[in-house]
Amino acid sequence: MVRKCAAPECHRQTTNGLLHCKAHRTLYLYYGAPVAGPPKAMLVSYQRYLQRTLGPIHKTDPRFLSVLPELADACLNARPDMYVTKRNEIRWQRYQLISSRQSLLRSQYAGEGDGSLCARIFWAFITVQYVELSGLYTHFDRIHFLTSIYRLLFTPDNSNKPNQTFIRFALGEADKLLAVTSGSWARKVIEQENEEQTK
């Protein structure tokens, strides 16, 4: 069966009933969405801006502090029993992929404990939420959104392309815990900016 590639503005055709052409299947596999995300330099600059504007909220926000243990489990401390099928079998490949990315994250920020790494994840969520809500960049779906968070957390190189398993299952769990809290802080900054503009 031949069909048009489902990626935006792509006119290539796919075969065997596949959704994306060969080029976009590769992008989907590595980046979680068949399009590029916002530039990392832009994300980093807005993260610094938000940290200056909001201050050390990761030390005082009760909602963030209340989900800290669950966030550490989801993103930093994978255990085999977290990835079990309905038949009570452990998904070893998923566990190994996620734990390898967690080890990579720890090695990139050597010497930082769970609390500090969770704060980095929290700030990454606030930054990407701010970029999305302020209209600076619109993501195509939630996986694409989470891929921007991944790119902000990890140092890019050819051997460290975004891993969709980590994005879907580790950052997906973090998304459930942090989406409301990070969104409220991002909206607060946008409201402050709007008030200053109207003065």
The model's pLDDT over 115-170, given as tens digits with 9 standing for 90+, comes to 999 999 999 999 999 999 999 988 877 878 888 898 888 876 545 567 778 888 88
pLDDT of residue 161: 67
Q: At what angle do helices 40-54 and 142-153 cross, to 10 degrees?
A: 80
Instruction: Give me the mean pLDDT over the 188-195 stretch.
Output: 90
d(CA 92, CA 115) in angstroms, rounded, equals: 27
Locate tokens 């590769």: which residue? 26
User: Residues of the chain with pLDDT > 70: what percent?
Assistant: 88
Show the tokens assigned to 177.
Answer: 């815990």
d(CA 36, CA 72) in angstroms, rounded, equals: 28
Spell out the SS3 assignment of 32-76. Answer: CCCCCCCCHHHHHHHHHHHHHHHCCHHHCCHHHHHHHHHHHHHHC
The model's pLDDT over 66-98, given as tens digits with 9 standing for 90+, comes to 999 999 988 888 777 777 777 777 788 888 888
